[in-house]
Structure 1
Amino acid sequence: MATDPPAGGRLGGDPRPADPSAGDLKLTDLTKRFGPFTAVDGLDLTIPQGAFFALLGASGCGKTTTLRMVAGLEQPTSGQLLLGGRDITRLRPYRRPVNTVFQSYALFPHLSVADNVAFGLRRRGIRDVRPQVERMLALVQLDGFGPRRPQQLSGGQQQRVALARALINHPQVLLLDEPLGALDLKLRRQMQAELKRIQTEVGITFVHVTHDQEEAMTMADTVAVMNAGRIEQLGPPAQMYEFPATAFVANFLGQSNLLAGEATGRSGDDVLVTAYGSRFTVPAARSRSVDGPVHLGVRPEKLALTRDADAVPAGAQSVTGVVTELAYLGVSTQYQVRTGWGTELSVFSPNSGDGALLPVGADVVAYWQPAHAFLLAREPGAGDQTSPLLDDAVPAS
């Protein structure tokens, strides 16, 4: 759909602009209402030129509506969209230097792969399209596939054709709307690597909308977690995973065990926490709150289990419990441990071959190092939050 040449990036050999922020995508107080329902609520966001940016959230959080406003497929109720300093808020979709790749691919079945890729160029009156088409097919590793029809390709190959068709128009921003959702797990992971390779090679801005936490963390330089039309937190995936800002982020980006407690102030470099009659500490540098109701968080893979209380390392903190459930997943075994106060903790234990599986009903001690915990402010009345065994959990490292 794009008609303008790129302001920068490496696609087609164009030099980057002198000002590295000249192609930033800026959303200012962006709001979209559908009647009384607010889908996107005063969004302020800057996506740097050349970034691989992921909008991550559950269905209904506003991420796809945000993407559609950037594409021009929805008009904002209020707010502004700027691309490289140019106001594109009211521009028609075909006037924007933006292309979208949808989950359905939307390839033309009656056209060859080459003609699908060339479609946008021909609509703009460009006649000699063959060199550009061949370069795009080479970029997505489909050399020689030009004469085939879409129905002769696998799902992953069709996805690559859709990417080539979008990229050949030289957009400043490529929008990806759940592009891997129709693929099986193995192919999806292969395409994650391919998308990251392509984005690095072409150097343009990718904005990827997904509900899949692993997909976002694998590919994106920056992840924004959306909830109820707002951004709860954004940042590099590792930073957000290790130090989430809210309970929602802690349990959406991966899994967390969140124990309800009370912070009673600092002692040196630590924050003191009381929970269920026990005392814990969390480094102040990993604490979002130092006083009042808090959630003490520990990721499941940061917990370890032992049947011998004397085996708990010095300096570690622990709780006792009983194994109530386990799931063997090859790389790790995921346990559920019921504590003495009734909360169940998730524990991901790597299968290193050093020990036997712990049986259901075993009395255990779950322990962690304080430096691996984090502390979040807790809404008064909110209790423990733990996650059940999930097939799509982030695996233990």
Structure 2
Amino acid sequence: MLELKNIKKSFGGKTILNDISLDVQDGEIISILGPSGSGKTTLLNLILGITEVDGGKIIYNGEDMTNVPMEQRGFNIVFQDYALFPNLNAYQNITYGLKNKPGISSQDEVDDLIELLGLKEHLDKKIEQLSGGQKQRVALARTMVMKPKILLLDEPLSALDGVIKESIKDRIKTIAREYHLTTIIVTHDPEEALTLSDRVLIINEGKISQYGKPEEIINRPSNPFIREFILNQLEIKRSNIFTLFQCEATA
């Protein structure tokens, strides 16, 4: 569905991304994982169209999108800070984009999405009255009513913790599965990437270190960086992740 071919990007003479190539299948959840400064957010911005590539191609459904403006690509992003309008209530935020494109989602589709995300009782609240998890769900709903071709999420769980974090993670999975929506997530947290995604792209110093299924990365890290970055950080939680993969394998 989405293919990146030999993507390169530099800023001020410094190489940020060097020869990045990968494919994303229709309906997949992909996480872009890496330490701070590795180039993962830059890669997300290149896919979205905020930033122009210096070299390589972005192909979507066989069409070259490399030089297509962001507003014509049909990809939508939920930013890390949610970017909600504080002067509008939750419902007005959710439906804001429909003012310019009213035919994209019907009222029934909007209502179904609100129900799916558990937002019905919060629709009249101002943004300042919402919790972090509720803001994240409103931001997801606002993006989803526009029926994006690809959903991009920038650190969607970084401001959340505990039960709320797990709840949002489950809702992202549910949305991706029910809407058969290709989803690309940027995260710095190995646990998030490994438990949320179908495949994980790990970037280090602007290059791909490994791209594969979570169980492949856990069981067959491709180099010392992967072992240190992934496995050492997960030492306390590894048993839970291994149990998850074992359960899925026998399900």
Question: Is the contact between residue 254 and residue 393 of structure 1 (CA under 8 Å) also seen in structure 2?
Answer: no
Give 1 or 2: higher strand fraction: 1
CA distance in 2, matches of 1:111, 1:85: 39
Could you tell me which residue of structure 2 aligns to residue 167 of structure 1? 144
Highest CA radius of gyration, 1 or 2?
1
Equivalent position SS for 1:50: coil
Residue 28 (structure 1) shift: 0.7
Partner of 1:33: 10
Distance in 2 between the 1:147 and 1:129 partners?
20
Greater per-residue helix proportion? 2
- C-alpha distance in structure 2 between counterparts of 1:220 and 1:178, whole Å: 13
| Counterpart for residue 35 of structure 2 | 58
1:34-78 CA distances to partner (integer Å, 9 max, x unpaired)? 022111111111011100001110011111000000111100111
**1:120 corresponds to 2:101:** no
Q: Do the aligned partners of 1:27 and 1:79 also contact (CA within 8 Å) in 2?
A: yes
Pick from 116, 130, 133: which aligns with 1:156?
A: 133
Deviation at 1:126, TM superposition (A): 4.3
Calculate the aligned-residue CA RMSD, in Å: 1.8
Corresponding residue for residue 133 of structure 1? 110
- In the alignment, structure 1 residue 103 sits paired with structure 2 residue 77: no
Whole-Å Cα distance in 2 between the matches of residues 79 and 252 of structure 1? 28
TM-score, structure 1 normalization: 0.58
Q: Secondary structure at the match of 2:18?
A: strand
Q: In structure 2, what is the Cα distance between the partners aligned to 1:87 and 1:61?
A: 26
Q: CA deviation at 1:186?
A: 3.5
Structure 2 CA distance for aligned equivalents of residues 78 and 392 of structure 1: 38
Q: 2: CA distance between counterparts of 1:125 and 1:185? A: 37
Q: Determine if the alignment matches structure 1 residue 87 to structure 2 residue 64.
A: yes
1:224 aligns to 2:201 (yes or no): yes
Indicate if the aligned counterparts of 2:187 and 2:193 stay in contact, CA closer than 8 A: yes
Q: Distance in 2 between matches of 1:124 and 1:88?
A: 22
2: CA distance, partners of 1:127 / 1:69: 25
Aligned length: 240
Matched ranges for 1:17-32 at <5 A: 24-32=1-9
Quote the Cα distance in structure 1 between the aligned partners of 2:194 and 2:43: 20
Tell me which of 156, 166, 188 is aligned to 1:189.
166
CA pair 392-124 structure 1, distance change in 2 beyond 3 A: farther
Give the 5 Å matches for 1:137-286. 137-255=114-232
Q: Distance in 1 between matches of 2:235 and 2:78?
A: 24
Long gaps (5+) in structure 2: 241-251
Instruction: Work out the percentage of aligned pairs sharing the same amino acid.
Output: 36
Are positions 1:395 and 2:211 aligned together? Answer: no
TM-score (norm: length of structure 2): 0.90
Could you tell me how far 1:223 is from its partner in structure 2?
A: 0.6
Q: What letter corresponds to residue 107 of structure 1 in structure 2?
A: L
1:57-105: CA deviations, max 9, x gaps?
A: 0011111000000111100111111111122111221111100011100
Q: Distance in 1 between matches of 2:69 and 2:118?
A: 32
2:23 matches 1:46: yes
